[in-house]
Structure 1
Amino acid sequence: MDTRTVLPTKAIDQAERDDAGGTISVSDLVEQVWGFIRRQYLVFLIVTACAIGLGLVYLLTTPARYTAHAMMLIDSSKLRVLQQQQQQASFADTPLDTTQIETQVEVLKSDGLGLAVVKEKHLADDAEFAATGGRFWRTDDPAQSADSRESQALDALLRQRAISRVGRTYVLDIAFTSLNPARAAEIANAIAEAYIDDQLEAKYQATRRASKWLQDRIAELREQVSTVDRAVLDYKEKNKIVDIAVASSAGGANTSTRSLEEQQLGEITSQLSTARGTSTEAKARLDRIQEILKMDIPDASVVDSLKSEIVIRLRNQYLDLAAREGILSQRYGSDHQAAINVRAQMAQIRQSITDELRRIAEGTRSDYEIATAREQSLKNKLADMVSDARLTNRERIGLRELESNAQAIHTIYDAFLQRYMEAIQQQSFPITESRIISPATAPKQKSSPRTSVVLGLATVLGLVFSLAAAALREALDPVFRSTRQVRETLNVKCLAVVPQLDAPPRAHLPASWRRHFGGNAASPAPADPLLGRAVRDPSSLFASAFRAIKVAVDVGTAGEGSRVIGVISMLPDEGKSTIAGNFAELIAHVGKKVILIDGDLRNPTISRAMAAHATDGLFEVLAGEAELDDAVRVVRGFAFLPMIAESGRGNELLGSEALKLLVERLRETYDYIIIDLPPLGPVAEVRSTASLVDCYVQVIEWGRSRKNSVRQQLLGAPEIHERLLGVVLNKVDLREFGRHEGLDAADGQHGYY
C-alpha cells in the first residue's frame, strides 16, 4: 500500500545541518520567527491594543499645549560696522566662537533672566504659572508671600521654555510652551527682549566701570610722562647734547631726530668721499696725458679722451697735410719743393700739439695737487670730529636709557587714552551683538500631545511589551508542543503526530492543514472512539500517523525478522494503550501477523476495552496457570494477550526469564510483537524489558507532558534511551500545533493527504 507519512523530516534535516555546521539558514530562521508570531499572536494583539488604548486615553485627558519660537541672532559684525577699526581689537568686542555661543545659551537659561520675565509679565498672578501640586494657588492667599509666588512662577517658566542653538549657526531658538498660543508667543518674545536688555545693561555697567578706572590710570600716567620728559631735557642741557630734526622721506612728512655730531660726521664723510674721487680722477688724467706726450702724434681715441678742441683741430690739420704730402711726393717726388714745404708745416703743427699737451698736463697737475690737499684737510677734520664724538657717545648712553623709559611711558599713556575715548563713546552707543530676526507668533497647531507621536509610541511600546510577554510565555511553557522540541530536548525523532480523537471535522480545519494531510471530510465517529479508528478511517490524519509509525518501525528494525516493539510513556493516561491497539490493528489490516500484549499489570486499560470478560492473561501464562493458545484472543483481526488485573501482584514479571522465553516463542509465529508496557515514571521495572525488546516507541501527550520530567526519566534509564526508536505526540490540537510547528502549505513534502 502506497502511503505517505507525517514524519518531521524537515526538523530532522535541519537538526542534521545544525549538528554538521552549527548554522541556521535564513529561511529556517524566518520560519521559526513566523511560527513564534503565530503561536503568540493573541498576546501581540491584546497587549498592543491595550497600549494603543492607553495612548488614546492620554490624548483625550491631556490638555493641548502650544509652542511658540523666537529666533535670535548673535553676531558681532553689526557692532564692528558702527565702531572704528581700532576698536575691533578692544576688550569690549571679541570675535565670537562656539564656546561663546554656548555661553549665551546658558545666559538665556539663567534664573535671573527668567525672574525678569516673571516680573515684567506678572506671571506670579497667572493661574497657569501658579499651579503647584495639582491645585491652583489663590493670588490673594495671605499665607503665600509674593516671593513664594514668584518662585513658583519661575519654576513653571523654566520648565516650559527651551533654548537651543540652530545647527552650527549663530542663531538661537527660544521656544516656550503654554496652554494659550498667544501667551506662548508673548512670553517667548519677552524672553528675547529681556536677554537684549540684560546685555545692554551689562555692557553699560562694564563700560562705566572701565571708564572710571581708565580715568584714574590716565591721571597717573600723565604725571609720569611729565617727569620723564623733564628728566630727558635736563640731561641734554647738562651734557650739551643737541639733536636736530631730519626728514626721513622725500616729501619731508616723516622726520626723525639726530645728534649734531652725527649730522656733522655725516657731512664731513660725504665731502671726504667726494674729495677722494676728485683726487683720483685728476691723478688718472695726469697719468694719461704723460703717456700721450711720449707719442709722436696721438691717435684719434686718445685725442677724443682729452676733450680738447685745440688738440683735435691741430691733429686734423696734421692729418690733412700728411695726406697732401703723400699725394705730392707720389706725383712729383719727395724732393719737390712743394712736398718739402708741406713737411715743414707738418713739423710746426706737431710742435704745436706737443706744446698744447704740456699746457694741459700742467693744468691737470695743478688740479691734482689741489684735490690732494683738500682730501688731506678733510681727513684731519674728520679725525678731530671722531675724537670729539667718542666723548659725546659716552654721555648719550644715559640719554638713551632716559629716552627709552620715556618712550615706553608715552606708549602706555597713548593706549590708555585711546581706550578711555572708546569707553566714553560706548556709554552713549546702546547696541548689543544680539537681535531678534524672527519674533514669535501664535502657533496654529498644538505641539503636544501629538497624536501621531503618542499613538506611534504607544504602538511601539505595545509591540515591545507584547514581544517580552510572548517570549516569557514561550520560555515558561514547560510542555511539549512541537516536533522540534522533541528533537532538541530528547535527541530523538518524532515518529508521528496523532491528533485528538474529538478533533473537529476537516471542513473546519485551516486550508494549509487540509492541503497538508489531504483526504475528504472526516467520517462520523464510531461508537468506540478508542480502537479501530486507524482502520475505519484510512484517509484521516489519525490513520496517517499510525502509518508513519509503521514505516519508522520497519526502517528502524529492518532485517531482523520478527520485531518486538515496546510502547511506553512517562505518565499514565498519555494514550499509549490507544496507540498500541490502533497500531496493532493497522499492521494486521495490511496482512501482517501481529500480537498485542498488555503488559500493564496495574492499569490494563486496553484489556478492559478489548477483553473485559477474559479470565486468562499474560500473568497466568507466565505462571503456568494457563496455556498460551487459550489466553490469546483474536480481536479486530489481530492476536491479543490481555492482562488480568489482580491486587497484590507486582511488576516483577517484566524482567522475568519466563517473559523472555514467551517472547522468543512468539517470534516464531508473529511478524510484529507489540507490548503495551506500564508508564516508565511510576514503574521502574520497565527498564528490565530492554533485553527482550527490539525498539521502544514512546508516547508523549501533547500539551501535558513536561519536557524536563521526560528528559530526566530518559537520562535515568539509558537502556530505554538506547533502544528508543522515536516519540509519538498524542492528543495533539492541530490548530495550536500548526502555530508551534510552523508547517506551511508551500512545503513540497506535504499536501498529499
Structure 2
Amino acid sequence: MLQVDRTAGAPDQAETAETGFDFVSLYTFLRRNLTVIAAGAMTGLVLGAIFMLTTPPIYTSAGQLIIDTRKIQLFQQQSVLADGMIDTAAVDSQVQLLQSENVALSVIRDLKLTEDPEFVGGTPSVLGTVIGAVSDGISILFGGGDDADVSTEFLERKAVGYLKQNLKVKQLGRSYVIEYSFSSLDPNKAAQVANALAEAYIVDQLEAKYQATRRASVWMQDRIKELRDQAQHAARAVEDFKQRNNIISFSTGGSGTRLIGEQQLQEINSQLTQARAQTAEAKAKLDRVDEILRTGGEIGDAVVADVLRNEVITRLRQQLLDANKREADWSQRYGTDHIAVLKLRSEMVQLKRVMQEELKRIAETYKSDYEIAKVREESIQASLNDVIRDAGTTNQAQIALRDLESTAQTYQTLYDSFLQRYTEALQQQSFPITEARVITSASRPYVKSYPRLSVVMAIAIFIGLLGGVGVGFLREQLDRVFRTVSDVEHFLRISCFGLLPLVRPARPSARPAGRPGSRAIGKAGANAAANTAPGSDAPAAEDEGRGGVSSDAGLLRYTIDAPFSRFSETLRSVKVAADLAQISRPVKVLGVVSAIPNEGKSTVAANLAQMIAHSGKKTLLFDADLRNPSLSRRMVAADANGAQAGIVEVLAGQVALDAVLMVDPVTGLHLLPTVVKERIANTNDILTSAAMKQVLDHLRTLYDYVIIDLPPLGPVVDARAVAPQIDGFLFVIDWGRTKIDVVAEALQSSEAIRDRLLGAVLNKVNVKAMSKFETYKGSYYFNKYYSRYGYHD
C-alpha cells in the first residue's frame, strides 16, 4: 500500500496548502476568477456612470488667512491680554474657532442663508431627499408646533449644519497660514460664503478682543481705586511714624533722601577731625617754641612758620642780618676792637634780646591757641556722643519705617502700573486690532470639485474589482471540491497518481500500418486467441462461441484508442503502484471505488483492465456492482450468447464460472459480468459469502490481475463489506464535483478500504481549467506532449 503524509504534491507548492498564500496562488486565483472580477469591474463602471449622471456638480472656493504674530505698536506698548508668540496649538485653536457655530451663525444671518433652499433643503439627491424627509419628520415630531421663532431657529440650525458640513479648514503645514474652503452647488455662492466666513471670523476676533478689553477696563477701574486708597493710607502711615519718632529726612539732590541725624553725624564727625588736627598743630607749635626758648637757641637757627611770618621778628631779623654784615665788614676794615665794631656788636645783642622777648610772646599766643583748640575739640566730641546716642534710637525706629516705606512703595508701584495698563486698555478700545488677516480671498471656481470623473471612475473600478475578488474568494471558499493533486494529498493524506482528463470517445477505425500501437494491438489479439477460458482446458477458439465484449465500447477502451494520452499514462502509474506494492504483499485483486455514483469509476476500471490486458497480462474485469451493473450493460456485445447470466448465477450455483466469462477479441480481456433480472436487497451478503471468497481465490490462480468495479461507498455498503477479500483499492474522485467532506467521510467509515488503498485519481479533469489551478503544470496535462514524446516522423 502506497500512502503519503505531506501537505502538497509539487516541490514549489509543498507549503502552499499550509501557508495559504504565495504569488503563484494569487496569479492562479485571479485567472480562475477573471470573469467574476471583470464583471465586478464592469458593474463598478456602470454604478460610477450612474453616480456621475445623477449627482449634481459641486464647486469649491478656497481662501487663505494668516495668524500674524507681529504686534502693532502704534497706540499701545503691549497687549493688555496674553501676549507672546503664537504656537501650533494656538493655530489649531484658531482653526477650530473658524469652524465654530458663532462664526457660522454670523455668516448665515448676514447673507440670509435661511432663505436659500440649498442650505435648508440640502443637496438635491435621492439619498439627501430621503434623509431630509426623515430629519424633518423627527424635528416636527419632537420639536413642537408651528411657532415662528421655533421655525426660524430650526432653519438656522439646519443651515449651520449644512455650512459646517461643506466647510473645510486646515493649517498649511507648520506655518501660520490657514486655508478655508466652502463647497456649494453655485460657484458664486461658494466664493461669497467663503469670503463672508473669513470676514465674520475677523470681526468675531475684534469683537472678542474689544469685549475682553472692556471687561478688563471695568475691572481695572475698581482695582485702581482700591490701589489708590491703599497707597495713600500707606503714605500717611509713613509720615505719621516719622513724626512720632522725630525722623526728619531731606533731599540730597542726585543721591536721594537722607535723615537729619545722619547728616549731623557726618558733619560733627568732620568737625571733630578738623578740631583734632588744629589741636595737634597748636600743640606742635607750642612745643617747638618752648623747646627753642628752653634751649636758648637762635631764632635764625630754628623757628616755626608763624615766627617767620611775624612782622616784628621779620624786621628784627633783617636788622640783625644787616648788623652782622656790617660787623664783618668793619672788623675786616677797622679791626675787631674798633669802637664802632664793638658798638655794633652791642646793638646786635640788643636785637637778639628783643627777638627773644617777641618769641616768648608768640609762645604765649600758641599756648592760648592750644587751649582754645583743646576746649573746642572736647565740645565737638561731646556733641558727637549726643548725636550717636540719638542715632541709635532713630535706627531702631528706622527698621519699622523701612517696612512701612516698602509697603507704601509697593502699593504706589501697583497703582502706577494698573493706571498705565488702564490707559492702554482705553487705547485698545479706541483702536482695536487682530492678529488674523486675509492674504488670499476666495474667488469664483470655474471647475467643479465634486464629483471628479477620474476619481469616481477609479474608485468605482476599484470597488468593483474588490467586490469581484470578494465574490471569487467566497465562491472558492464554498467550492469544497478537489481541484489538484495537492488537494487530494493534503486533505486525504493519500497518494494521488494523477489526473484523468475529460475525453471524448474515439470513433473505432482500423489503424494504419506503421502507426504507433498497431503492433501492440496485433500482439494482444494473438494473445487473446491463444488464451483459454478460466476453469476450462478448451482452446481459445471455444471462447468465441460464449460471446464477447463489444468492440464499440467508447470510453471504456480509450486507453486502446489513445495509448499515448495523459489518460493512459495516469493509469500506467496505477499499474506501476500495484506492481510495487506486490514487493511487500500480493496485490492481484484490485478494487475500483468512488464516494458517490457517476464519478466514472466503471470507465476507469474498464480502461485500466483493457490497458493491462493489452500489455499481454492475463486480466479479468469483474463487475461487482450488483445494484447497478452499468459496466456489464455497456461492455457486453448486443449479440453475446452469455449475457443472460453473470456472477450472481455463478455464486448461486446455477451456472459455471467459465460459462459467463466474456472475451475482448482485441485485447484478450476477460469480463465477468453481472446480470440483474430483479432488484436484490441483500447484495452485501452475496459479496461476503463463502462462494464469493472461493471465486476470488480461484480467480487469483487463473489471472495475473483481477480488476473489480465496486459500488460507490456513499449509497451502499457493498464495497465495505467485500473489502477484506480485496488486495488493494483505487479511489476515483470526480474533479471539481465531489465534495471533500464526502470523500473524507467515506474513507473514514471504511477502515479496511483505507488500509488497503493504493491511491486515488482525479477523473473528468478539464485540462484548460486545470491550468488555472496549477500554473506550473499549465501544459503538462495536454496530450500533445505525450503523443509527441518518442515519436519520429
- Bucket of the pairwise TM-score, normalised by the shorter protein: 0.7 to 0.9
Q: Deviations over 1:624-647 (max 9, x none)?
A: 333333332212421111122243
Report whether the alignment pairs 1:259 with 2:254. no
1: CA distance, partners of 2:407 / 2:6: 105
Question: What aligned pairs does 1:653-732 form with structure 2 within 5 A after superposition?
Answer: 653-732=686-765
**Which residue matches 1:91?**
81
- SS, match of residue 772 in structure 2: helix
Question: What aligned pairs does 1:469-618 form with structure 2 within 5 A after superposition?
Answer: 469-502=471-504, 528-558=553-583, 560=585, 563-611=588-636, 613=640, 614-618=643-647
* Preserved CA contact (<8 Å) 2:6 2:489: no
- SS, match of residue 489 in structure 1: helix
2: CA distance, partners of 1:750 / 1:529: 18
**Which residue matches 1:302?**
none
**Which residue matches 2:162?**
156
- SS, match of residue 621 in structure 2: strand
Deviation at 1:499, TM superposition (A): 2.4
**Which residue matches 2:9?**
12
**Which residue matches 1:121?**
111
Match of 1:37 among 20, 26, 30: 30
Unaligned runs of 5+ in 2: 123-127, 134-145, 284-362, 508-516, 518-550, 787-793
Report whether the alignment pairs 1:461 with 2:460. no
2: CA distance, partners of 1:280 / 1:654: 162
**Which residue matches 1:61?**
54
- CA 1:131 to 1:561, structure 2 compared with 1: closer, same or farther past 3 Å? closer
- SS, match of residue 651 in structure 1: helix
The amino acid of 2:698's aligned partner reads R
2: CA distance, partners of 1:276 / 1:567: 149
**Which residue matches 2:228?**
222
* Preserved CA contact (<8 Å) 1:76 1:93: no
2: CA distance, partners of 1:262 / 1:490: 117
* Preserved CA contact (<8 Å) 1:481 1:740: yes
2: CA distance, partners of 1:202 / 1:749: 84
Deviation at 1:403, TM superposition (A): 1.9
**Which residue matches 1:175?**
181
- SS, match of residue 565 in structure 1: strand
- CA 1:165 to 1:562, structure 2 compared with 1: closer, same or farther past 3 Å? closer
The amino acid of 1:123's aligned partner reads L
**Which residue matches 1:348?**
none
**Which residue matches 1:134?**
129
Deviation at 1:191, TM superposition (A): 0.6
* Preserved CA contact (<8 Å) 1:557 1:694: no
The amino acid of 1:134's aligned partner reads T
The amino acid of 1:263's aligned partner reads Q
**Which residue matches 1:442?**
444
Which segment is superposed worse, 472-481 or 649-658? 649-658
2: CA distance, partners of 1:457 / 1:497: 42
* Preserved CA contact (<8 Å) 1:242 1:259: yes
Unaligned runs of 5+ in 1: 1-6, 284-361, 506-518, 520-525
Deviation at 1:15, TM superposition (A): 10
* Preserved CA contact (<8 Å) 1:745 1:751: no
1: CA distance, partners of 2:506 / 2:46: 35
Deviation at 1:172, TM superposition (A): 1.5
Deviation at 1:271, TM superposition (A): 7.6
- CA 1:105 to 1:559, structure 2 compared with 1: closer, same or farther past 3 Å? closer
Higher-Rg structure is 2
2: CA distance, partners of 1:708 / 1:275: 133
Q: Deviations over 1:694-740 (max 9, x none)?
A: 21001122233222122111111111111111112222222333323
The amino acid of 1:638's aligned partner reads L
- CA 1:577 to 1:748, structure 2 compared with 1: closer, same or farther past 3 Å? closer
2: CA distance, partners of 1:233 / 1:13: 111
2: CA distance, partners of 1:278 / 1:617: 171
TM-score (norm 2): 0.71
- SS, match of residue 498 in structure 1: strand
* Preserved CA contact (<8 Å) 1:59 1:449: yes
Deviation at 1:667, TM superposition (A): 2.5
Match of 2:655 among 608, 626, 643: 626
**Which residue matches 2:396?**
394
**Which residue matches 1:211?**
217
- SS, match of residue 417 in structure 1: helix
**Which residue matches 1:350?**
none
Report whether the alignment pairs 1:109 with 2:134. no
* Preserved CA contact (<8 Å) 2:581 2:587: no
2: CA distance, partners of 1:234 / 1:384: 25
Q: Deviations over 1:117-145 (max 9, x none)?
A: 122223233332232563999xxxx9975
* Preserved CA contact (<8 Å) 1:698 1:728: yes
**Which residue matches 1:77?**
70
* Preserved CA contact (<8 Å) 1:243 1:260: yes
Deviation at 1:487, TM superposition (A): 1.9
Deviation at 1:557, TM superposition (A): 3.5
- CA 1:237 to 1:610, structure 2 compared with 1: closer, same or farther past 3 Å? closer
2: CA distance, partners of 1:750 / 1:381: 142
Q: Deviations over 1:371-416 (max 9, x none)?
A: 9999988766544332211122233344334323321221121111
Q: Deviations over 1:79-133 (max 9, x none)?
A: 3x43554x25x32545423333233222222222112212222323333223256
Q: Deviations over 1:305-347 (max 9, x none)?
A: xxxxxxxxxxxxxxxxxxxxxxxxxxxxxxxxxxxxxxxxxxx
Which segment is superposed worse, 230-239 or 434-443? 230-239
Q: Deviations over 1:670-697 (max 9, x none)?
A: 2211111122223323223333322100
RMSD: 4.0
- SS, match of residue 12 in structure 1: coil
1: CA distance, partners of 2:155 / 2:756: 85
- CA 1:172 to 1:504, structure 2 compared with 1: closer, same or farther past 3 Å? farther
Q: Deviations over 1:571-605 (max 9, x none)?
A: 22222111111111111112222111111111111
TM-score (norm 1): 0.75
2: CA distance, partners of 1:277 / 1:643: 164
Equivalent residue pairs, number:
631
- SS, match of residue 655 in structure 2: coil
Q: Deviations over 1:32-82 (max 9, x none)?
A: 222222222222111222122211211121111111111111123133x43
- SS, match of residue 441 in structure 1: coil
2: CA distance, partners of 1:587 / 1:440: 89
Which segment is superposed worse, 181-190 or 476-485? 476-485
- CA 1:658 to 1:746, structure 2 compared with 1: closer, same or farther past 3 Å? closer
The amino acid of 2:561's aligned partner reads R
**Which residue matches 1:735?**
768
- CA 1:374 to 1:62, structure 2 compared with 1: closer, same or farther past 3 Å? farther
* Preserved CA contact (<8 Å) 1:8 1:495: no
**Which residue matches 2:511?**
none
Q: Deviations over 1:350-391 (max 9, x none)?
A: xxxxxxxxxxxx9xxx99999999998876654433221112
Q: Deviations over 1:484-513 (max 9, x none)?
A: 2222221112223222334999xxxxxxxx
- CA 1:549 to 1:416, structure 2 compared with 1: closer, same or farther past 3 Å? same
* Preserved CA contact (<8 Å) 2:7 2:15: no
Which segment is superposed worse, 442-451 or 233-242? 233-242
1: CA distance, partners of 2:376 / 2:558: 154
* Preserved CA contact (<8 Å) 1:616 1:644: yes
- CA 1:562 to 1:8, structure 2 compared with 1: closer, same or farther past 3 Å? closer
